[in-house]
Each structure stands twice: as C-alpha cells, then as structure tokens.
Amino acid sequence: DAGVTQSPTHLIKTRGQQVTLRCSPKSGHDTVSWYQQALGQGPQFIFQYYEEEERQRGNFPDRFSGHQFPNYSSELNVNALLLGDSALYLCASSPQGLGANVLTFGAGSRLTVL
Amino acid sequence: QKEVEQDPGPLSVPEGAIVSLNCTYSNSAFQYFMWYRQYSRKGPELLMYTYSSGNKEDGRFTAQVDKSSKYISLFIRDSQPSDSATYLCAMRGSGGYNKLIFGAGTRLAVHP
C-alpha cells in the first residue's frame, strides 16, 4: 500500500518565480493538509483541503494557494517566491471522522529559492 | 511566545539508556497530543497519540500528558541506535479539523 507520495522531491527556483508541488494521498484518505518545515523547525500548517475545498488555513499569505482534485490528490502553488520560502513542504493525508488525528506524511518536497 | 516549546537538543545518549523528551504548551484548549519521529530526509511518522491527560505505553515508548501543568513527555526505554532521529511533539484542540501545532523537534543521537 503506497503511502503519501509527493513530487518533485527537490527543486531550485529563483526569487519571483512560481512553483507547483504535487501530492497523492494514502489510499482511503480524502483529506489533504500541507505543512512548511523550515530547517531546524517543526512543521507549520499552511492549509487543508477536503471535498475540493480549502476548509482551514494557517498564517500564510495569499501567495500560497492550493487545489484538490476529485481523486483527492492535491497541489500547492507558491507565487512570487521569496528567499524565506526555502523549506521542506510536507503533504499529509488523513481519513475523515475518528481517524482524523492520524496524519500520514509524505517525504516532502525540498524547495530552495536562490 | 510560541504555543508549543520543545528543547531542540541535540541529545546524545549511549545505547540502552532511558530517554526523556518533553514539550510545554500554553493553549489550554489542546486536547490531542502526539509524538512524531522524523528521520533525516523523511517525513514525520506517528509514534504515539494520546487524548487528554494520562499515560500510554507502546513497547519501549511511553507518552505522558499532564494538562494541569501543560506538559507532555515521551520516554524511550532501552534506546537503540535506530532511535536516532528528530522527535516532534504535536497537539491540537477538539475542533473538527485536525490542524496540528508542532514543537521545533528534539534531535536525538543514540550511540553504540
């Protein structure tokens, strides 16, 4: 059973560019959350998608946007990249209901902004 | 002040030692408490999950929650080199959505 898969694993961008990161949730999971993990820090919640809608958002600017597709996969888009956006971007999936506390994380996409 | 405080370490112990990892928090609304383990270049994986106060044991791991002190702990008995990783505490309130607030993580090294 494949867990959460993310792509690309690594990428390098320059300031001002735009980036799209992709996530396929674990089989049976319908909720996808995105987290940003800066070096030496814990993950910070960006937003969560369920039924193709953003239903909760953390303290991130509008440059961060997302999408969820009917097959539950998700994309994270970041526009006008800043040096401070360099981080590991983690996707986590979960089932609805009582299992909602059990998040399964992917290995992440490491973004470097030069 | 951060909602969740966690000593980043690093913590270095010999194989077989008992390891104690801790987090403090400020938000009394937190009800669910988790410990995640993160190996280098990997995503976090759930180790322990506790609801409200009390203890929970799973093999060599014991999680404790003291809501009156806003303090949670993870104990690892008979530590092994394979336990070398970063340990993240995480917590959330009782609302319907599962947004987690993480600590900064404690880096643990268990040497043979």
Instruction: Please check whether residue B101 touches A, CB under 8 A.
Output: yes
Q: Do A41 and B4 touch (CB under 8 A)?
A: no
Closest residue, chain A, to B50 (C-alpha): A101
Q: Using an 8 Å CB-CB cutoff, list chain A residues near B100.
A: 43, 45, 103
Instruction: Please check whether residue B85 touches A, CB under 8 A.
Output: no
**pLDDT confidence band for B96 (50 / 70 / 90):** low
- Report how far residue A42's alpha carbon sits from residue A103's, in angstroms, rounded to the nearest whole number: 15
Q: pLDDT (tens digit, 9 = 90+) per residue, A9-44?
A: 999 999 999 999 999 999 989 999 999 999 999 999
Q: What's residue B106's pLDDT? A: 97
In angstroms, what separates the C-alpha of B109 from chain A's closest C-alpha?
15
Instruction: Please check whether residue A41 touches B, CB under 8 A.
Output: yes
**pLDDT confidence band for A97 (50 / 70 / 90):** low
Which of B92, B98, B106, B107 to mutate against chain A (most A CBs within 10 Å)? Answer: B98
Least confident window among A5-9, A77-81, B97-101:
B97-101
**pLDDT confidence band for B80 (50 / 70 / 90):** very high
Q: Which of B101, B110, B105 is nearest to B37 (CA)?
A: B105
Q: What's residue B67's pLDDT? A: 92
Q: Inform me whether the pLDDT recorded for A1 exceeds 70.
A: no
**pLDDT confidence band for B59 (50 / 70 / 90):** very high
Output the CA torsion A111→A112→B1→B7 (10° steps).
90
Q: Inform me whether the pLDDT recorded for B41 exceeds 90.
A: no
Q: Inform me whether the pLDDT recorded for B22 exceeds 60.
A: yes
Instruction: Please check whether residue B32 touches A, CB under 8 A.
Output: yes
- Report how far residue B35's alpha carbon sits from residue B44's, in angstroms, rounded to the nearest whole number: 9
Q: Inform me whether the pLDDT recorded for A98 exceeds 70.
A: no
Can you say how many angstroms the Cα of residue B53 is from the centroid of all Cα atoms in its chain? 14
Q: Inform me whether the pLDDT recorded for A96 exceeds 70.
A: yes
User: Which B-chain residues 6-25 have CB contacts (< 8 A) with chain A?
Assistant: 6, 8
Per-residue pLDDT, averaged over B74-100, amounts to 91
Per-residue pLDDT, averaged over B41-67, amounts to 92
Q: Inform me whether the pLDDT recorded for B15 exceeds 70.
A: yes
Q: Do A42 and B49 touch (CB under 8 A)?
A: no
Strand partners, A109: A89
Closest residue, chain B, to A47 (C-alpha): B99
